[in-house]
Amino acid sequence: MARGWAFPRRLPPTVGGSRIWISPDARLRLLQPGAGGFDKGLLDWASCLVHRGHKVWDIGANVGVFTFAAAGRAGPGGRVLAVEPDPWLFGLLQRSRAANRGGLAQVELLCAAVAHRSGVARFTIAGRGRASNYLADVPLAEVGEREQFLVPTVTADALVETAFPPDLVKIDVERAELLVLRGAGRLLAEVRPALLLEVAESNAEAVRELLGAARYRLFDAAEPARGFPPVARPVWDTLALPEERAGAWLARGG
């Protein structure tokens, strides 16, 4: 019943109060009134880790809750790039960008998937809801399949060259986080942003090895308002910081 239905809502004033277009097809929680209708973790991450002038990537933007929360926190001097391969969700992002004028960071949009190489990949719209959409190379049988189609793919390193180098990158790509990181060698070695990752258990060891080789330290990001305790291995919500900046970053709250 929720498919194809979209309507505008406002984010809380603590993250700028942007007007965004949402759909219960993306997440049923969005039907709840007030701030409880939004993913608290996304709002807390924006509040704790995004500050004036920051440059942020949102890879796997969905309807843009984190995108526009980050834009509100970063302000006019900041920049935000939202990457979303689902054309229908991308259309909502476009409507949200058009609905907001002034007071926010510049928001740029890219309708593509981020992976280990640039090209074309098959993308699946999940039967359960669009928050669970996934690349067909990383199947999620438990969420079902509504339809498949081809989408362009880009690497994170290509985005460094064509968009802008970020201070913070959020990655929520339904078990494809390892593919994103494998295409991010230059990003991790030279730009060295903070990373917010959703890490599946099946990828945890490989992600640990890759980020360890890149000299990143890992923290549990599940409850940012209570701090970020260090972890030896990635957890579902992981904050990864370059080891040379981890202490200073956490001390100043981002």
Beta-bridge partners for 147: 125
Which residue, chain included where needed, has tokens 């302000």? 75
Residues 6+ apart with CB under 8 A from 6: 21, 22, 23, 92, 95
Q: Are 115 and 179 in contact (CB under 8 A)?
A: yes
Phi, psi for residue 87 in degrees, rounded to 5:
-60, -30
Residue 1 lies in a domain: no
**Given this model, what pLDDT does residue 208 score?**
98
What's the CATH code of the domain at 147? 3.40.50.150
What is the domain count for the chain?
A: 1
Residue 80 lies in a domain: yes
**Given this model, what pLDDT does residue 33 score?**
59
Residue 101 lies in a domain: yes
**Given this model, what pLDDT does residue 26 score?**
78
Alpha-carbon distance values, 89 to 2, 25, 61, 83 (Å): 14, 10, 9, 10
- Rounded CA-CA distance 37/28 in Å is 9
Residue 2 lies in a domain: no
SS3 36: helix
pLDDT tens over the chain, length 254 residues: 566 788 899 999 999 999 999 998 876 455 565 666 688 899 999 999 999 999 999 999 999 999 999 999 999 999 999 999 999 999 999 999 999 988 999 999 999 999 999 999 999 999 888 989 999 888 777 888 899 999 999 999 999 999 999 999 999 999 999 999 999 999 999 999 999 999 999 999 999 999 999 999 999 999 887 789 999 999 999 999 999 988 887 776 55
Residue 167 lies in a domain: yes
Residues 6+ apart with CB under 8 A from 89: 23, 26, 61, 62, 63, 130
**Given this model, what pLDDT does residue 220 score?**
96
Residue 65 lies in a domain: yes
Domain of residue 64: give its range. Answer: 7-252
In terms of Cα–Cα distance, which of 82, 110, 88, 55 is closest to 172? 82
